[in-house]
Amino acid sequence: MGAYIKKLKSLTYPQMIALGYMMLIGIGTLLLSLPIANRNNVSPGFINALFTATSATCVTGLVVFDTYTQWTVFGQLVILMLIQVGGLGFMTTITMFSFLLRRKIGLKERGLLRESVNTMYIGGIVRLTKKILVGTLLFEGLGAVLLSFRFVPKMGLAAGIYNGIFHSVSAFCNAGFDLMGRFKQYSSLMYFYEDAVVSLTIIALIIVGGIGFFVWDDIIRNKHHFRRYQLHTKIVISTTIILIVSGSIGFYIFERGNLLSGMTVSERIIASIFGAVTPRTAGFNTVDMAALSPAGKLLTMILMFIGGSPGSTAGGIKTTTLAVVLISLWSSLINTKCDNIFKRRLEDNSLKRASAVITVNLILTMAAAFLISASNTAFDIEDILFEALSAIGTVGLSTGITGALNNFAHMILILLMYSGRVGSLSFALVFTEHRIPSSVQNPIEKINIG
């Protein structure tokens, strides 16, 4: 026992976080396997329970069953708990109980917290965690109230409030789970595509949850003074705005004669913004994703690959990774010595880390798509690639093939969702963190590039 505890203490922060998520998934799997969690009072099977628990914990939203028609209120509450803890990070949740019990937060816990919320500094991490918990309660509460106003007239008082809370938490945590199977299975928010309040509330919750906790803190401290923001915040805000605007315009152009036909101008605009925001790891949809045009589907896959921002409830390669690569590309084109943005110079190893993240994500996605397509020959490769990108980006959007895939494909998607939530680079570091770098360097020799 002592040796086991010693081994646990020797784990690195990424390894502890990976183990924490694994334990949370395990608990969720056991609870969802109980007959009480299923409407037919029969266990759904280990793989299906594991898939659902992983999707909820990793705030993805891919489902093998319609959430409303398969799971009882108990099962839905288990999923909601996994979404909340998985979205905030299990260390943030543990710290919340430490606050309630007036327990002192040690240095080891502070280090884990810093890694969990992916902030750059350990100083002030406890204060930031308190802001995260208060901010989460505030935004999810406000979202629940707004959504309840629209749901109560259609569902009744108790069901409307319950659905308001569930969808607010799911949207803020970028999870994409819904309970709209009461209207039509696997319909997500398509029933409310005409409701501007529902769409705009979900959009706002997704954006706030996806910009990152560090950005929250910077905005709270410096208010509207953009010049005072730290470089990370400036890059996140700028990249997020560009992606939303360009994505909305692209979605409008590609789908105006397809999914958006028959809508009013205001409905088209809102649906286009929703179509640009939700692929960046939220998983809700107000239009039929299976009916996307080829260009619309490609745009959605690109947005899913990019995802949200570091230290948030979102997945993907992250906005800062994309920004670093584009900044370095521009620096190479104009032949400048350093990578500069907003009158600041990026760290020398920023491009190396960004390239590693993109490369690992691409390799995992391509490998998964290859294996799934080889074992599920009845499906088109574009739908399988869409599914793989959705899983590793913890998005949750699907063209409708998730439930029809075999168990082998489901296990691959489970691994993708898990690595996407832990972080693909962190997932790789779990196996290599203890390697000691050699102090011996080999001679340099030039090669041709490009």
Per residue in 148-163, pLDDT (tens digit) is 999 999 999 999 999 9
Query: What pLDDT is recorded for position 381?
Result: 92
Query: What pLDDT is recorded for position 390?
Result: 94
Cα(392)–Cα(416) distance, rounded to whole angstroms? Answer: 5
Question: What share of the chain in percent tops pLDDT 90?
Answer: 50
Which of 106-120, 198-212, 252-266, 404-418 is least confident? 106-120
Per residue in 299-325, pLDDT (tens digit) is 999 999 998 888 777 788 888 899 888
Query: What pLDDT is recorded for position 426?
Result: 55
Per residue in 347-363, pLDDT (tens digit) is 777 888 888 889 989 99
What does the domain layout of the chain look like in residue ranges? Answer: 2-429
Cα(364)–Cα(287) distance, rounded to whole angstroms? Answer: 28
pLDDT at 280 over 80: yes
Query: What pLDDT is recorded for position 221?
Result: 84
pLDDT at 90 over 50: yes
pLDDT at 104 over 50: yes
* Residue scoring higher pLDDT (171 or 221): 171
pLDDT at 25 over 60: yes
Of 284, 260, 283, 282, the closest CA to residue 270 belongs to 260
What mean pLDDT do residues 49-59 have? 93
What mean pLDDT do residues 213-232 have? 84
